[in-house]
């Protein structure tokens, strides 16, 4: 007889008392043909997943899995009607996600998920955890998502994650899945916990070697009381999360100092030229993973020009205009605002400076407003076409000069 169970995040979040928008269902004792006869529409490619004819919610046949090859795709599935709900729950990643609720409201909890929810523990279900390297990313993301609730990773689970890294399982992860989990982490809460968890199990050096290389690299204490570059980047991520919900801003915060990871040792703790060195590393990262162009491009301009903004009050008008032009502020003012937001996150992501006022951002906003206020059409009308760009640039520089002079009175 066909039985339907609510499974996964909806059951977990109900126990935590937090809202959950999507519901997933597991069907026991049925075949694909039986579901299709009832109007369910099949959408799953690798295993039978169906959409409910009325609600559109996902219903998956109970299944077991068997490892057949390396990495994420190397699995064989058994979706026969005799697979039990307990067997289906046994293939899941964490005990807190391996709880089901039947149609009478009874909870099925064969792996101790309720106790782990009570004790705020992220614990793997069984030894089959090691067969799917995506679970390392998921554990890191759950650690970030539930950090505010006090969840920590069980020691034995962290040990398994380290073993998977040592065995090369993480090397088989497909770039699309790595970025998908990263994007979910960056747009959620406590993204730094995601990256710190990956580092604690050794996966960060495989998936994000450019970020991993920053830990242990010193910076001048005068500007960076926290000293460690990796710690600084995590603090900047915290600030970016507080300042903006934008994925682009948070990604740029993550990569803004990548160039410090390959500063020659004899130059430390100084990092002269790290801005442009970082751009090369960002391009490498964005080629290896399917990073959206908007994220990559903001990361590049932040890497190259964030120190210019920090030194705003020292810059000459021509240098201010150069930053505006190179960041494409006149055509992309919304991205320029993201750029300034990331610069502010960088300035505040330092030990003891989280609440500092970042007047440099307002300086550049006002300089941009002054430069944008000139009548470019009138200037163009009074010059030969080949002389128009230089004439507009002179007018913008003059407007910036007037703004700076007025601001110093």
Question: In whole angstroms, what is the distance from residue 259 CA to residue 225 CA?
Answer: 19
Burial of 358 (0-12, 13-18, 19+ CB in 10 A): buried
Question: What's the pLDDT at 68?
Answer: 62
Question: What's the pLDDT at 128?
Answer: 84
> pLDDT by residue (tens digit) across 91-133?
899 999 999 999 999 999 999 999 999 999 999 999 889 889 9
Question: What's the pLDDT at 67?
Answer: 67
- What 3-state class would DSSP assign to 321? helix
First to last CA, the chain: 84
Question: What's the pLDDT at 407?
Answer: 86
Burial of 278 (0-12, 13-18, 19+ CB in 10 A): buried
Question: What's the pLDDT at 75?
Answer: 63
Question: In whole angstroms, what is the distance from residue 152 CA to residue 162 CA?
Answer: 16
Q: Evaluate whether 249 touches 342 at the Cβ level (below 8 Å).
A: yes
Question: What's the pLDDT at 297?
Answer: 98
> pLDDT by residue (tens digit) across 153-177?
999 999 999 999 999 999 989 999 9
pLDDT under 70: residue ranges of the chain: 44-46, 67-75
Question: What's the pLDDT at 278?
Answer: 97
Which domains does the chain show, CATH number per domain? 1-119 (3.30.460.10)
Entry pTM: 0.91
Q: Evaluate whether 61 touches 30 at the Cβ level (below 8 Å).
A: yes
> pLDDT by residue (tens digit) across 283-317?
999 999 999 999 999 999 999 999 999 999 999 99
Long-range contacts of 385-394 (CB under 8 A, 24+ apart): 393/321
């Amino acid at each position: 007889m066909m039985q339907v169970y609510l499974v996964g995040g909806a059951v977990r979040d109900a126990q935590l008392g937090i809202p959950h928008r999507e519901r997933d269902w597991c069907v026991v004792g049925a075949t694909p043909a039986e579901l299709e006869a009832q109007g369910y529409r099949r959408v799953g490619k690798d295993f039978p997943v169906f959409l409910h004819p009325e609600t559109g919610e996902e219903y998956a046949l109970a299944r077991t899995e068997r490892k057949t090859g390396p990495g994420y795709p190397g699995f064989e599935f058994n979706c026969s009607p005799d697979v039990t709900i307990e067997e289906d729950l046994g293939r899941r990643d964490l005990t807190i996600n391996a709880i089901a609720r039947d149609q009478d409201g009874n909870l099925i909890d064969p792996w101790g998920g309720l106790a782990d929810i009570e004790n705020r523990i992220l614990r793997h279900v069984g030894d089959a955890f090691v067969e799917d390297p995506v679970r390392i990313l998921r554990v890191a993301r759950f650690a970030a998502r539930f950090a505010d609730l006090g969840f920590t990773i069980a020691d034995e689970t962290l040990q398994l994650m380290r073993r998977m890294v040592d065995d090369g399982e993480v090397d088989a992860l497909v770039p699309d899945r790595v970025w998908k989990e990263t994007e979910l982490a960056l747009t959620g809460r406590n993204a730094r916990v995601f990256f710190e968890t990956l580092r604690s199990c050794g996966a960060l050096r495989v998936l994000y070697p450019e970020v991993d290389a920053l830990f242990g690299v010193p910076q001048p204490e005068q500007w960076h009381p926290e000293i460690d570059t990796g710690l600084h980047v995590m603090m900047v991520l915290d600030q970016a999360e507080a300042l903006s919900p934008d994925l682009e801003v948070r990604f740029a915060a993550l990569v803004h100092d990548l160039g410090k990871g390959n500063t020659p040792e004899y130059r430390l703790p100084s990092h002269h030229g790290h801005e442009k060195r970082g751009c090369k590393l960002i391009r490498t990262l964005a080629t290896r993973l399917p990073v959206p162009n908007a994220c990559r491009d903001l990361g590049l301009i932040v890497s190259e020009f964030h120190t210019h903004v920090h030194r705003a009050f020292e810059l000459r008008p021509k240098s201010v205009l150069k930053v505006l032009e190179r960041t494409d502020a006149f055509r992309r003012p919304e991205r320029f605002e993201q750029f300034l937001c990331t610069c502010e996150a960088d300035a505040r992501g330092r030990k003891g400076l989280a609440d500092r006022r970042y007047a440099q951002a307002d300086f550049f906003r006002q300089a941009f407003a002054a430069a944008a206020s000139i009548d470019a059409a009138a200037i163009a009308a009074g010059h030969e076409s080949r002389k128009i760009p230089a004439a507009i640039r002179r007018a913008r520089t003059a407007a910036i000069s007037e703004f700076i002079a007025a601001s110093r009175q």
